[in-house]
Structures are given as structure tokens and as C-alpha cells.
Chains A and B, each alone.
Chain A
Amino acid sequence: MPGTERKDVVAEVLHPSLQQAAGLVPDLLAFIARDDAGEADFNVLALRLFAHQFQHNAAFQKFCQQRGRTPRTVKRWQDIPAVPINGFKDLTLSCVPTEQCERVFMTSGTTRGDVKGRHWHPELAVYDLSMTRNFRARFMAGRERIRMGILFPDEQLMPNSSLAHYLALALHNFDLPDSRYYLDSAGLQLDVLCATLEQVQKSGEPFALLGASYSFVHLMDALQARGLRFTLPKGSRLLDTGGFKGQSREMEMDAFYDSLSATFGVPRSACINMYGMTELSTQFYDAGNAELPALKSGPHWIRSRVVDPLTGQEMPAGERGILAHTDLGNFNSVTTILTEDVGVAVDSGFLLLGRAQGAQAKGCSLAVDEFLKAARA
């Protein structure tokens, strides 16, 4: 029963440090627990969160004032100033004093050297409810539980990784016996994983393999070196996320899903890509990657726009722009963020076209990463 589940969660989150947000979090949990919500209800809650964040987060207030936006002038969720993800590196975006926060998730820091973005969470009830409701709807395909293999380190090894927490939630809420991690501080446990995959193949029971996109590349390379391929039972699913981030060789996405499908015997339509960000509390999914680029969409408590990076104006439908997301799950930081991801708005979602390779070097002029490496050395 979603109702009882919600009550427990609500009781737990009324932490003293959250008294300023009292009322907000329960309403938010209730909103997430609804089956759906229209534009008007979304708008009401978004504006309440904006007023709350404007009042309690000094850095954000200043950011808004520089743009001449206050709770008085902002009447539509689309007008809430979008904080660039760099803001999570340079500013402390938290309504609650950070020492009172249960968790902080950090970005991997690939674009600006050592500077990591920090996303402060006073507690994780909202994050966890957002993740589990959405994951059930978008990945579980009607099942309650499935046997899982995780291609990522666990939360103890990576306490500041939102992806580690996400995968832990998947495992704890949706697993069947014998689910486990196949990556630890020593790396990929290839022998154990191969044994599992062989056993699963014989058992006929569906299996889900979840992890970072680059972990899948390493795994496929290792399996290819051993000449191994599997045909996982019908109903098996794969979930990859995060792209390659220089952690593995870059692959064309088409080749990546072809290769996934060929290596594990799972149709591309059951290879789900999750698009998530440390700076958000909610994830986006596609419905398989039979065709690229796959349509991404999120649940009713997150809305996305495609904007011009310089003016912030929404792009005409069908034109490429930068994605901005308004995530009601971000009750303590900022609801609205401006990403560095390129997308196109389409009906019922958006197409993710990759990262804006901004200062892409054409000649002898510049490659920002190279200089940043030099400046760090």
C-alpha cells in the first residue's frame, strides 16, 4: 500500500533541522506518491519550494536577485532562475546548515579539474521515494523483484556517489536472493560474474545487470577477450547510465547497444539507459534503445525545458538547446538547474544528444581539459 509506506517515511523525516521545511516535505512526499499531477499542481508546489529556497538559501537568494527574480515576481515554474551545475561547485546550495545534512553527493569532477559539485541532502526520504517509485515504473516492467548484478562499487566504498546510492536502493528494494555487487575495490570480479551469468543462463530466471556505461564497456572487453557470450533468459534487462567519462574507450551509442545485445543476448529494447545527475533527486529513463536517440522522460514531479544557453529562453520545438530541469525532489538545494547537456524537446519528453562539447578545439587554439590538466599539475 503506497499510503502506509508514505506514513512511515513522513514520520521519519520530521527531523528538527527541517522544521523550517515542516509541511513542505510531507506535501512533497504525498505529491510524489500520487499517480500523476497536472501543470497547475506542479506549479503550486514548485513556487512554494522556490519561496522556501529563496528565503533559506543565501547564495541562491543572491543568484536570484542578480537576475531580478524574487518570489514576488516569479509566477510560473518556468521563471524560477535555473542554477548552472557549476553553481554546485562554487556555491553552497542548501537551506539547512550543511553539518546537519545526512548525506552529500559529489560529482566526479571531470570538467573543472578537482572542483567537485556538492549536493546536500538533509535526509534521503524524498530522494529514496523519488527513486523507487520511478524505478518501479520504468525499469521493473511489472515485476516486483528480479535477481540483480551491480557493476558499480557499493555505498560503503563510494559514500558520496549518488549512483552508488541509487544502485543500493535498487538492490535493497527490488532484489531477489543471490543479487550482489560484482565490483569492489579490487575491480571487476570477472570469474564470479561469469559463473553467475552461466548459471543464470541455465536457470531460465530473468536477470538484471545494472551499472555505469563504462563498466559495461570494460566487462564486454573482458568477455570478448575470453571469447564469452551469453544468452540471458527472456525478461532479463540491462540498465546503463552516465556515459563513458573517459573511464573507458568511447563507443558510438549504436555500437554500444549492439554490443550489449550481442554479448548478453538481451534485445536492445530491454537495454534501458538512465539519465541522472548528482545535482538532481530524480532520474529520467528511456523505454529501451532499439532506436537512437531514445526518448527520455521523467515522472510527474520533474519537468524539463530546452533553452538557449546564453539567454535562457526556451527554444522552438524541434531545435537543439541546453536542457534545464525543474525537479521538485530537490527541496533543499534548488529546484531548477541548467545542465550542460544538449537536447531536443519532443512530445512527452526529450531526446538527449550528449554533452555540449563547448570549446571544441578545431585547430591549434585550445582544448580546455588539456590546459586544466596543466594548471593542476
Chain B
Amino acid sequence: MKLQAAHLPGVDLKAVQWHTLTFGEGAQRVEVSVPKLAPEQLQALARHVRTQGGAQIRALPVSQIITAIDRAIARLLDTQDPYRQQLDRLLPPITGFDAEMVRLGLNAYLKTFRAPQLQRFVAEDFANPKLLDEFQPRAKGGMARALGPELLVHVWAGNVPGLPLWSLVCGLLVKAPAVGKVASAEPLFAALFARLLAEVEPRLADALAIVWFKGGDTASEGALYAEADTVLAYGGNETLAALQQQLPVTTRFLPHGHKLSVGLVSAAALDAQHLPVVARAAALDVVRYEQQGCYSPHTYYVARGGRVSPREFAQSLAGELAALQHKFARRALSLEEAASVAVWRQVQELKGQDGSVELIGDAGAPWAVAYADRAGPLLPCALNRTVQVQAVGALDETLPLLAVQRDFLQTVGVAASPEELHALAEGLGRAGATRICALGQMTAPEAGWHHDGRFSLLDLVRMVELEASAEAAAEPYARYRD
């Protein structure tokens, strides 16, 4: 029987039609069934989750929700667990990513969702997490309470396996019953997690539903979005704009559009001792998830003046990319991806006719580094292990080059001295960056990071304030008044 990627609490499964998504070829071929719900079925499901699921999740204190997530995550971190084994077996053929890369990536990622990290996650946005459970007194007088959405809808992209976990957990932490729509490119992870959560905590069984429909299916979209008061979506700006058009103005819309990330290497990091470590870290950030993530680097700006030149850094990076191919093989490229890489290579080669760009790595190599002696504005590369290295005099020269992408800039990986790092941080922030991290950590954000600079939990809730005036005004009506 084909694996069914869905979680449909309260739905009569006999009445559900299924659609088959096929991934990979030959022995790697995998088929996954996704539900084809009619708009009425979607609407009924959304209402069930909002009422039954909402009642369930609101009845639990945040601490118990954290315990439930922690138990599910512990299961996923256990290599003997059947859920984890399914992920290890199926995610590589579904995404095309190297199996070992997926396994290591998942471990690093899942660890950021254990109970202590989740508590920190809540504390990051709520000085007093009990605001999520009940009205709390405020220092200035009165009381306040944070309420999550009545129904949260997630719209996920399929670029990085496990991505849905971020917004799923955010929703759970603010007690939002939720319906998540998976992408055709990776429908599995969210469905397995929802099923597992229902298994470890049956009191949350109706609080999550995982569905699928084709992007652009306006009948299904309309039926689902009409039931939501908050919609959180990942995708390109055009997709997001089209989605927003379908939402009533009163629906809260939290878009995560395309992003672009970059690495900076200071002269301080460029000597014979540090070079191998820095180049390896930079290569790993390129290799992980084949640059499909918003946090993946497209360009490294490298300062002159170190014992090792920017060009030598580019060559070391190329060497590390070649070496990493043996450990984590690049996935097979589709014709479109190959064409994209080919066009990028052509542009670099043509630029190179006057000697300004040097393309390292021949057409058959599963990676390529384009080294330029003069830096230009930040532009995307062609993904799939293509990366630009550009020389600058000093790292602060990059600020105007990054600022052209202010609306898209996200993560900046930095290898620099403490003085440089802190001096740069302000300028990087003003150029649009929302996250500054170590090289080698670009694809592994810390627990509780502010995704795209937003408050992951605060953005989801609405504060209810019970003002001191109401308390004072109630006193005269007390039974015990004098």
C-alpha cells in the first residue's frame, strides 16, 4: 500500500479520493498518496479542527503542549523509531538530497525542538509565558492574556525537508488549531509529524490537519482560507501576492517570501592555519540542501590583505566542494536545473573573456566557483553548488553591495575578528540582514530565531487587555461592597 501523506481528523476516509505523487526513478522510485478533498470536505475539516481541535488545544497549558512536542521530537530523534525510519527512507528519494545529508540535517534541526529549546522559544517572545494560559496581572495595573488564532492555515513550500516544523510548532505553542497545506515537492514530513503528535498526545489529535491541493486550485484555496483567521505562507512573492488577494482584509497574513543569503570572510580569517576550517565551513553551507534554503549562501565576499588571497580562498572552497561530493553527492538535476546552472556558467565564462571572472570547475563537475577580482552587487547564483567568490578591500565595502537586495537579504555568515563582527553588525542590519551567524551554521538557525526578523509567536497572537479601569469599576458591584 502506498504511503498516505495526510492527517484528516474527523473526515470520513472512505469518502476521500487520493492523488499519487511520484518521486525518483528506478529502485529509488517512491509513490506517495495525497488527499484530493472537495471544497466542501476541506471546509468541514477546517471547521472540525477549529471547534474540536481548538477546544482540545486550548484546554492544555503551554507546558503540556511543550511536553507533547518534546515527546514527538524524541521519537523522531530515535533512529529505531518507525516514524524516523520512514523519514530516513523516504525523504532522500522524495527530495533527491543525499541520504546522509538529510539524516545529519534532520538531527541538527530536530535538536532545536527539544523541551528546553521550546521553553526558550516561548521565553524569547513572552517575558511571562503564562500569558498564553490565562490572564496575568500587569505591572501597570489590569490584566492581559495572549490568545492564538481560532484557526491557523499554513501553506508550505517543499524546498527543504522538515521546513513545515517551524511554523507548525509556532502554531502549537500559541494553541492555534491548524490546517497545513503541504507542497507537492515534499508532502511527507508534516503529515508524519501530525500523526505522531496525535499518537503521543491524543488530546491533540484533532488540533492539526494536513492536506494537499495543487497551487492555483482557487476553489480549494477559497474554501480553506475562508475558515482561517490567520494564514502563514512560504513561497515566491508572486505566489504570496496571489494568495493575499484571496484573503479577506480581516485575515492576518504572515508571508515568508524569497530570501537571499551571503557569506563574508575577513582578512583575519585568511591565513594558512584558519583557511582549511573556514573553506570547509563555507563549502558545507553551500552543499547543505543544495542551496535551496532561504539561509543558503549565494556569494562569498572575501577581504584582501590576509596572508591568503581571496583567489586562494576561492580555490580552497572549490577543493572542499570537490571533496564534499564524495561525502554528500549532489542530487541529480532536472533539465531545468541543469539549464539554469549552464546559463549561469555561460554568463560567468563570457564575463571571463576579459579576465574579470575566473570559473573554477569544469562543465562536468557537480559544483562551480566563479571568482571575481572586483566585487559587484549581490546577485543570486544558480543553486545546486554554484557559488560566487568576490574580492573586496574590506568587509564594510560590502554594505552597499548587499543593500541592493535589502528586501531579500536574510542570513549573513561571517568569519571575522570580534571587533570586525560587532562593527559590521549594525551596517548589515541596515542593509537588510535579519540574521548574522558563523560560517558553517548558515543552514542551521538557532532555536527561537526570529525568522525573517519577525516575532514568530507574537505575530500569531492577539493580546486581550483587561484594564485597571474595568477592575476598579467592578468593585462597587461586588457582593462584599461596604
Contact = CB atoms under 8 A, between A and B. Distances in A.
A370 interface: yes
Interface stretch (B201-209, B232-240, B242-250): B232-240
A356 B353 CA distance: 25
B349 A311 contact: no
A321 B335 contact: yes
Given A363-B235, A365-B258, A367-B237, A84 B291 contact: no
A67 B404 CA distance: 35
Which of the four size classes fits the interface of chain B? 35 or more
A359 B260 CA distance: 13
B11 interface: no
Interface string A328-355: 0000000000101010000000000000
Interface string B303-344: 000000000000000000000000000000001111111110
Contact of B346 (A87, A320, A377): A87
Interface stretch (B75-83, B156-164, B168-176, B276-284): B156-164
A364 B293 contact: yes
Contact of B343 (A311, A320, A340): A340
Given A358-B340, A362-B158, A371-B379, A62 B296 contact: no
B338 A365 contact: no
B143 interface: no
Contact of B157 (A62, A357, A363, A368): A363
Nearest to A342: B335
Interface string A276-302: 000000000000000000000000000
Nearest to A361: B236
Interface centre among A340, A357, A363, A371 (most CB of B within 10 A): A363
Interface residues of A, number: 41
A343 B160 CA distance: 29
Nearest to B407: A374
B339 A342 contact: yes
B258 A367 contact: yes
A251 interface: no
B184 to A, nearest CB: 9
A366 B342 contact: no
B135 interface: no
B458 interface: no
A365 B159 contact: yes
Nearest to B291: A365
Contacts of B236: 361, 367, 370
Interface centre among B185, B335, B353, B378 (most CB of A within 10 A): B335
Contacts of B345: 310
A359 to B, nearest CB: 4
Contacts of B378: 375
A321 B342 CA distance: 12
23 contacts: A84-B350, A90-B350, A310-B341, A310-B342, A312-B363, A320-B335, A342-B339, A358-B336, A361-B236, A362-B159, A363-B158, A363-B159, A363-B234, A364-B159, A364-B163, A365-B159, A365-B258, A365-B259, A365-B292, A371-B379, A372-B379, A374-B407, A377-B404
Interface of A: 59, 62-63, 66, 84, 86-87, 89-91, 112, 308-312, 320-322, 338, 340, 342, 356-368, 370-372, 374-375, 377
Given A322-B342, A364-B256, 18 more contacts: A86-B346, A90-B350, A90-B353, A309-B335, A340-B343, A357-B336, A358-B336, A358-B337, A358-B340, A363-B185, A363-B292, A364-B235, A370-B237, A371-B260, A371-B379, A374-B404, A374-B407, A375-B378
